[in-house]
Amino acid sequence: MPEHKAASRLRLSGLCFLLQILNILLFATFVRYSPESSSSLCSPQLNCSRRNQDSGFQHPRFRDVHIQVLLGFGLLVAFLGRYGPGSVAISILIVSFAIQWAILIQGFLYFFLNGKIYVGARSMVSADFCTAAVLISTGAVLGRVNPVQMLLLALLEVTLCTLNEYILLSLMGVSDSGRSLTVHTFGAYFGLMVSRILHQPHMDKRKREDQQNTGHQADVFAVVGTIYLWIFWPSFTSTTSVHDNAEPWAVLNTYFSLVASTIATFMLSPVLYEESTPRMVQIQDATLAGAAVMGMAGEMLVTPFGALITGFLAGLICPLGFRFFTPVLQSRLKIQDTCGVHNVHGLPGILGALLGVLLTLLATADAYGDRLELVFPLVAQGSRTAADQAVLQLCALPLTLLLATLGGCLTGAVLKIKALRSPPDKGNLENTVLLEVDKEGCDPRTSGKEPGISTLV
């Protein structure tokens, strides 16, 4: 056993070394500062007309999105008593690698010119979005994959997530500014399919031992995480708005959705779990669901009351999913959704995409005014009708699910290679993610234990 542990540590060190050297070489060869960020770097061959936009875009929006990814998405895994500390470390590892890899992969598709990748604030924010999808996926497999497998998952998912985003946003012209499809839906179902491929039947016979702590530690991190979500998620939803005057709709709609989803959780949780007041981790779930559902529709003409209705529905779907859908996934489909990403990201993401289709169908120049060119530029230019745009928005949903499913199966098959698996480190239960969980995952809302374990954001 000591030899196996040493080999596991060396595999991680070796993979980190190889991947970082690869990134350094690729950055040295291809990556340069964007001319939009500095007038001295602008040349006649490059279009610097958006320099001012990139300069104004950098600080509050980039800062908010990056904090959201690192703290809102990464730190909240600490609510897991058994996997928390180790999971936080692995989340930071994933963020560190995925941002570099996403800049390269997205750069070749979006920012490649004259043989170079030009990076600026926009490319960094785009990389943060892709990293968020990876962190969502890890919530479905947390506790059943080791750090080496996590890195390989990030390597493959960043590539496939970028491909999906390029097809939807660039080729099809889909409007998804807050990433309901490309981040929430793709990340959730990619992770679920990886979890399905990694399913081990013999785990069904294991007793439920060393269940995660659902006490004080979970509530403390849930409080901190929920506050971060409330502060920074509106910026996360609105950050891709090109013009400042297009931002308030996304910010306002996100806030309206957040408050309604929270109220819905206070209404439904006592009925489902026989508690007088929902725990903070359940409020955190509602916050996530309410924000995820506004990803696509946030910058559209939802109207304030429409945002309240949508958030309220998302707040109902989340606890209902934990109560009724998660057991079906586990018992019938053999999908171990460790942290409930299906209920917090997957289902709200689909709801947000369907809402986006409806709002696209109703988009008119009279209703949107000058905003029509910002939200649906091809419709404003007359290149396509609102109905055509709505059809493309609708087609984007099954396409995303297809790519996430196929990509998750491929990634799961790679991670299942025997050479990548390592034995659990039983000597340090609280600080490792090499441990396996039983078939019901970490969510006591599907068992007889006290409800309230939060989800990986």
Helix (H, G, I), strand (E, B) or coil at 307: helix
Helix or strand (DSSP H, E) at 361: helix 347-361
Cα–Cα distance between 44 and 295 in angstroms, integer? 37
Closest CA relative to residue 234, chosen from 191, 295, 188, 187 = 295
User: Where does the pLDDT of residue 145 fall: very low under 50, low under 70, confident under 90, or very high at 90 and above?
Assistant: confident
pLDDT of residue 449: 44
What are the tens digits of pLDDT across the range 4-26? 566 667 888 999 999 999 999 99
The backbone torsions φ and ψ at residue 452, rounded to the nearest 5 degrees and listed phi first, read 130, 0
Single pTM value for the model: 0.85
User: Where does the pLDDT of residue 85 fall: very low under 50, low under 70, confident under 90, or very high at 90 and above?
Assistant: low
Sign of CA dihedral 356, 360, 362, 364: positive
Comparison of pLDDT for 394 and 444, the residue scoring more: 394
Residue 84 has pLDDT above 50, yes or no: yes
pLDDT of residue 244: 52
Q: Are 275 and 326 in contact (CB under 8 A)?
A: no
Q: What is the mean pLDDT of the chain?
A: 79
What are the tens digits of pLDDT across the range 211-249? 344 455 556 666 777 787 788 888 888 777 655 555 578
pLDDT of residue 41: 46
Average pLDDT over residues 165-187: 93
Instruction: Report which residue type is found at 420.
Output: L
pLDDT of residue 216: 54
Sheet holding 116-119, edge to edge: 31-33, 116-119, 112-113
> 112 has which bridge partners?
117
The backbone torsions φ and ψ at residue 119, rounded to the nearest 5 degrees and listed phi first, read -105, 145
Cα–Cα distance between 63 and 57 in angstroms, integer? 10
What distances in angstroms separate CA 282 from CA 35, 94, 204, 249, 397, one per listed residue? 45, 26, 27, 27, 27
Cα–Cα distance between 264 and 127 in angstroms, integer? 33
Comparison of pLDDT for 71 and 119, the residue scoring more: 119
Residue 312 has pLDDT above 50, yes or no: yes
What are the tens digits of pLDDT across the range 355-371? 999 999 998 888 888 88
Average pLDDT over residues 301-324: 92
User: What CATH class does 11-31+63-198+218-417 carry?
Assistant: mainly alpha
What are the tens digits of pLDDT across the range 277-286? 777 777 878 8
379-414: burial string, b at 16+ Cβ within 10 Å, e else: bbeeeeebeebbebbbebbebbbebbeebbeebbeb
pLDDT of residue 139: 86
User: Where does the pLDDT of residue 270 fall: very low under 50, low under 70, confident under 90, or very high at 90 and above?
Assistant: confident
Percentage of residues of the chain with pLDDT beyond 90: 40
